[in-house]
Structure 1
Amino acid sequence: MQTAFNLEQEALASTNYLEQLVDPSTGFTYFDVFLTDPAEAVHDWPDFLDVPGRSAETCVLLRHMTGKPVATEPAFFRRILGLQEEDGLFHRPETAITRHEMLREEQALVMAALFAQAVGDADRDAEQRLNRLINALADTEPAPGPLPAMLIRPLVRAWEALGIRVAFDLASRLREQSIHEHPLFLPDGRFPGHVHSRLYAAAGLTELGRLTDDADLIAHMDRVYRVIRDRSTAFGFVPELTERTDDVIGCETCCLMDYIHLAIALTRTGRTEYFDDIERAVRNHLLESRVRSGDWLPERPGAPDEDLIRRVGVQQAVIGAYAGWSSPNHILAYDEYLPAEWIKSPELSPIYLNKVRALQNCCSPSGPKALYLAWQHAARVEGATLRVNLLMDRSLPEAEVRGYEPYEGRVAVQVRVPLRIALRTPGFARPAEVEATVNGTPVDARADGGYVTTPAVHPGDTVVFRYPLPEREETVTIGNAGFQQYAYTVTWRGSTVMRVEPGENAATGRSHLMAAPVRLYYGADGPHPLYRREGLLAGSPVPGPLHQVTGPAIW
């Protein structure tokens, strides 16, 4: 078997979803998957720009990460590019399920896809379209709120990587709006509402602070990160909403992606201790949020497809998708319906309403994007030093890194050019407990700033770090303040969760969106159990293939 935490192989597992849960000729995705009998995948209004935009970006990231293309990448780009109008903005078309309109959060998602293509592929057309979009946004009246603030991150990156000055000016306007005019965050870092949009904005504001030497802005975003970290679990269960006033709580993969994105942005300001948080989140709830089987979705042979509804092959097509609302131990945390205001007209009610939502596929491209973010920053060469930030597999032109957790506390580095090797000391170990050898001979490694650094080594050398891998149990409680709480016993081996055991948690609870109590999946029973890692240590790991590449550094 392969090493358990090869990020490239994990990312490739999303290819099935990206190629199957879509019309491959048009790039028309399926936002909704309903837990009906049979299960239904349904086209919805996010399938015009939101999900195709995310999917197009993710395809570019996966191609550069793994060296392997996703067959539907051209279709995703055709869909979104066909919706850029003369004003430079991207509009939903007028259809039975959508109104002709422009939403700023969708401009942010399309902007990220264009940016990935412009930087990753040096695509001139993508860069020109990106410039048109940014200039058009700069000419529109700014709109307050967390969703328009999602523009900040791609705008800052467009300025940093492509030198688009208008992007910087617009990001600066949005900064004033988000921090002073219509604050998204309280001074202590707290915030109500949707976590995904706010953390994406916070990641952008952090990068803007880094690039403009704004220490106060960075410190503010650091407080935001600490607040959401305190409301999450150490293994990466990040709530979809803060301050929700009912009994349901779920982890949206989009939120987990932006939790990782914000943490990475903060490490770039010198807060490298957050790599420990990133490592735990990636090893655990990010990897566990991927759909590994569709068997939990009912299937009925012979059930017909309809204009907006797919019933054939849904079980197979969802493999590689990511959870919309996971619990700590199931792919779905609770049964909930879409609200009536979701749909364009009452005539659409039979298609969308009174059906349990199994997956929302804005999250499915977010999982592999989060893997790319971790992969891109896992190991980096800075001057004459290779910094191993995440103790996972990564191949660079300068060196190949192999991590062996949870089998043993060992990281091996095969050196290709003269370097010093700096290994981040995991949070459960002391620097003095990390031993380093070069070609089997012990060397004195210097501890500094959370890293243990070897003397200079040479091409062909093998550097091995060893450290203890303690096992421990932790009691974790999740839930919204003032409402039902749910307890778990979590068994750790180093940074890896080996088992999540629920307590006697309630099987029903109240959702403010539903008239009657809803079924909950915080106990032993539920769809698609997570953390089935009992047999993980039964064999010896065999290293999986790696794509040797530095970048391009898209994010």
Structure 2
Amino acid sequence: MSTQTYEKFEPLHNAQLVLGYLTSMVDEKEDNLPYWLVLPHKKPAEAAHCRVDDAELVGSWYEAIDAVRKMLKTEEGAEVQLSFYRHLMKSWGEHGLRFHEPYPWTHTNHISFHEMGYILPALNRMVENHPEDLEAEKRASGLVRGMRSLVIERKVRTFWSGDYEEKEPIYEFPNDVYLREGGFDLSRHTGRGEQAIRNAIVLHSLVRRYELAGDEVALDLAVGIANHLLGPSRYFNYKLEFFGHVHSAGWVASGLVRLGRITGTRRYITAGKGIYDYIRSLSSSFGWVPEYAQWHPQHEEHCETCCIKDMIECANELILAGYEEYWEDMTLFARNQLVENQIKVSSYVVTDNTLPDGEGVTYREIDQRMIGGFTGGSLVNSISLSKFRSIAGCCVGMAPVALEIVWNRAVEFSGGRVLVNIPVDKETEEATVSMNYPDTGYISVTPKQQCDVAVRVYDWMGQNLSMKINGVACISSKEGNLLVFHNVAAGAMVELEHPLETAVVKETVRGEEYTVSWRGCDVVDIAPRGEHLRLYQRDLRIPKTYPSADDVHFTGAANFGPTQQAQTKQ
């Protein structure tokens, strides 16, 4: 093959980068407590603690580090993962809820139900990885039962025309905040609004809890929350459109689809699909997803990496529900905007290693430690470092979950068949898969045992497909979008090749027109180009350009001090 001209999609490289972030952007003095707040635009750059570090982050970063360590099959990061486990096993309170430790940078000790949507998935992973872990099982069970005990159950609909018994469970939480000392105080709230959807992100993990442990209380709570969302909350209109937080709605959509699959209830799948399709209509073809729907003018929106994770996770659920057309979204979103939203250079960062770390603030080697993080707000063509949340701890927790989903589904072995769903370089126990995108349209599959080989084909591959086994032209059978090669011998090489040229397409994203250069499934350039960190500089023949320290200035929310910024994160 020719010398590589364009950057390839290499999920293991992205996983290794984010593992470096997860293991270094932590506070060793506090048993590796994560730093959510990273400020690369300050001079010197710093990272600072805030309340969310010991609220959602110990859950989401446990998931993240577990995901990438499994992808990489490495012991690296094991001690840090154990630290996250220890943090998660502390601070449990009444009703099985997880609060947080009273650090100097925290204020009123409370939980939000939104945060429990990050804690339960981590507990699920613990139980799945180690069924003998009775402490994790106890906490997961207690959290589910505690939340169930706190919901309002709507049993009767009282209307001017009479009283009508509700025939299905309908559950909602009385508030989005629960105080460690005082419980529900209706004079307090997070101020985010949208309580129905923000409180409901636990839906997906409730269904997973039921699958793992046969926990009927988890399933009951999931059904009641879903019914409230799709009924009395009036959060979605008849077209499943909504106003507000895309991350919450997208995560709920994946939970609805999973709930529908597990219970055989079609309306939940239909609703989840409708929500996904609405978010998709606001997104780009390559995975730029807005943080909010109809909240700001389109040209003011940014892309939170958490939202890309939700779309990939929901696409996977829809595929499992029988909608195979969503393979294309999973493929395009993962290999484009998801990995572009990762920080890979830091030459522009001003670091002062002579400054001592203070209480809750660190300056040491921020330029090195921030590599591998994910942005909380990219533009279509760049990551603006002067924007608050240019790097976001929440996104660092979510992106690896999406990477793991894509990695696991890219090449599978089922029913005596090697199945290549997404072009990627990957070796499994059953086969070796190689690809040459975006340079050329080429995939090879070498099984390690005699079996069928199936390769998923996409419209962007075109019609002129060339197929060979050990260099000899062959034919395959067609099963939907799969090309199937039967009874391929162990060690034989199946090759699929097609012409690949650069296609330049105009696309309106974020209310603005862009010129997008595609090579098959990969975006290799976008114009106009942005500032500060330009995205999609994937042509290796053209020198990449990055800002200098003098090019990065404080603007807008970036002027807030650490405490004010921490409170901005809701």
- Tell me the TM-score range normalised by the shorter chain: 0.7 to 0.9
Match of 2:191 in 1: none
Whether the 8 Å contact between 2:207 and 2:258 is mirrored in structure 1 is: yes
Counterparts of 1:85-124 in structure 2, within 5 Å, are: 85=93, 87-96=95-104, 97-124=106-133
Out of 25, 31, 34, the residue aligned to residue 36 of structure 2 is 31
Counterparts of 1:157-196 in structure 2, within 5 Å, are: 157-196=208-247
Q: Deviations over 1:58-114 (max 9, x none)?
A: 111122221113141111111121122354220134444232212212112111111
CA distance in 2, matches of 1:51, 1:62: 16
Match of 2:487 in 1: 456
> Does residue 269 of structure 2 align to residue 218 of structure 1?
yes
Q: Deviations over 1:119-145 (max 9, x none)?
A: 134352323322222222222224251
Letter in 2 for 1:36: K
Aligned sequence identity (%): 27
Match of 2:137 in 1: 127
Whether the 8 Å contact between 1:293 and 1:319 is mirrored in structure 2 is: yes
> Does residue 433 of structure 2 align to residue 401 of structure 1?
yes
How much does 1:180 deviate? 1.2
Letter in 1 for 2:88: I
> Does residue 312 of structure 2 align to residue 260 of structure 1?
yes
How much does 1:212 deviate? 1.7
Match of 2:550 in 1: none
Match of 1:415 in 2: 447
CA distance in 2, matches of 1:98, 1:536: 52
Counterparts of 1:21-420 in structure 2, within 5 Å, are: 21-24=25-28, 25-34=30-39, 35-69=41-75, 70=77, 71-85=79-93, 87-96=95-104, 97-125=106-134, 126-141=136-151, 142-143=172-173, 145-246=196-297, 247-332=299-384, 335-336=386-387, 356-420=388-452
**Tell me, which stretches of 5 or more residues in structure 1 are unaligned?**
337-355, 480-484, 503-522, 539-555
CA distance in 2, matches of 1:455, 1:492: 32
Letter in 2 for 1:127: E
Return 129-138 or 301-310, whichever deviates more: 301-310
TM-score by length of 2: 0.82
Whether the 8 Å contact between 2:465 and 2:496 is mirrored in structure 1 is: yes
Whether the 8 Å contact between 1:436 and 1:463 is mirrored in structure 2 is: yes
> Does residue 45 of structure 2 align to residue 13 of structure 1?
no
Q: Kindly tell me: are residues 122 and 396 of structure 1, through their superposed partners in 2, closer, same or farther at Cα, counting changes over 3 Å? A: farther
Q: Kindly tell me: are residues 451 and 470 of structure 1, through their superposed partners in 2, closer, same or farther at Cα, counting changes over 3 Å? A: farther
Query: Which SS does the other structure have where 1:14 is aligned?
Result: helix
Q: Kindly tell me: are residues 98 and 378 of structure 1, through their superposed partners in 2, closer, same or farther at Cα, counting changes over 3 Å? A: farther
User: Cα RMSD between the aligned structures?
Assistant: 2.2
Whether the 8 Å contact between 2:377 and 2:389 is mirrored in structure 1 is: no
Whether the 8 Å contact between 1:324 and 1:358 is mirrored in structure 2 is: yes
Out of 511, 527, 532, the residue aligned to residue 501 of structure 1 is 527
How much does 1:29 deviate? 1.4
Q: Deviations over 1:424-463 (max 9, x none)?
A: 1122134x53332222222221223222112222322221
CA distance in 2, matches of 1:267, 1:274: 6
Letter in 1 for 2:37: D
Query: Which SS does the other structure have where 2:439 is aligned?
Result: coil
How much does 1:159 deviate? 1.3
Task: Give the aligned length.
Answer: 491
Query: Which SS does the other structure have where 1:255 is aligned?
Result: helix
CA distance in 2, matches of 1:123, 1:461: 42
Whether the 8 Å contact between 1:27 and 1:78 is mirrored in structure 2 is: no
Whether the 8 Å contact between 1:40 and 1:310 is mirrored in structure 2 is: yes
How much does 1:162 deviate? 2.8
Letter in 1 for 2:376: G
Whether the 8 Å contact between 1:380 and 1:388 is mirrored in structure 2 is: yes
Out of 464, 475, 478, the residue aligned to residue 509 of structure 2 is 478
Return 13-22 or 400-409, whichever deviates more: 400-409
Match of 1:490 in 2: 516
Letter in 1 for 2:98: F
Query: Which SS does the other structure have where 1:181 is aligned?
Result: coil
Query: Which SS does the other structure have where 2:257 is aligned?
Result: helix
Letter in 1 for 2:115: E
Out of 5, 8, 25, the residue aligned to residue 4 of structure 1 is 8
Whether the 8 Å contact between 1:93 and 1:99 is mirrored in structure 2 is: no
Whether the 8 Å contact between 1:253 and 1:286 is mirrored in structure 2 is: yes
How much does 1:380 deviate? 2.0
Q: Kindly tell me: are residues 121 and 64 of structure 1, through their superposed partners in 2, closer, same or farther at Cα, counting changes over 3 Å? A: farther
Match of 2:459 in 1: 427
How much does 1:388 deviate? 1.5
CA distance in 2, matches of 1:268, 1:329: 32
Query: Which SS does the other structure have where 1:469 is aligned?
Result: coil
How much does 1:204 deviate? 0.7
CA distance in 2, matches of 1:537, 1:439: 36
Q: Deviations over 1:254-298 (max 9, x none)?
A: 011101111111111111111111111111111111111223333
CA distance in 1, matches of 2:293, 2:421: 30
Match of 1:441 in 2: 472
How much does 1:195 deviate? 0.7
Letter in 2 for 1:101: H
CA distance in 2, matches of 1:20, 1:394: 27
Match of 1:552 in 2: none
Q: Kindly tell me: are residues 364 and 115 of structure 1, through their superposed partners in 2, closer, same or farther at Cα, counting changes over 3 Å? A: same
Whether the 8 Å contact between 1:93 and 1:101 is mirrored in structure 2 is: no
Q: Deviations over 1:135-179 (max 9, x none)?
A: 222222242511221111111112123322221111111111111
**Tell me, which stretches of 5 or more residues in structure 2 are unaligned?**
152-171, 174-194, 544-570
Whether the 8 Å contact between 1:27 and 1:79 is mirrored in structure 2 is: no
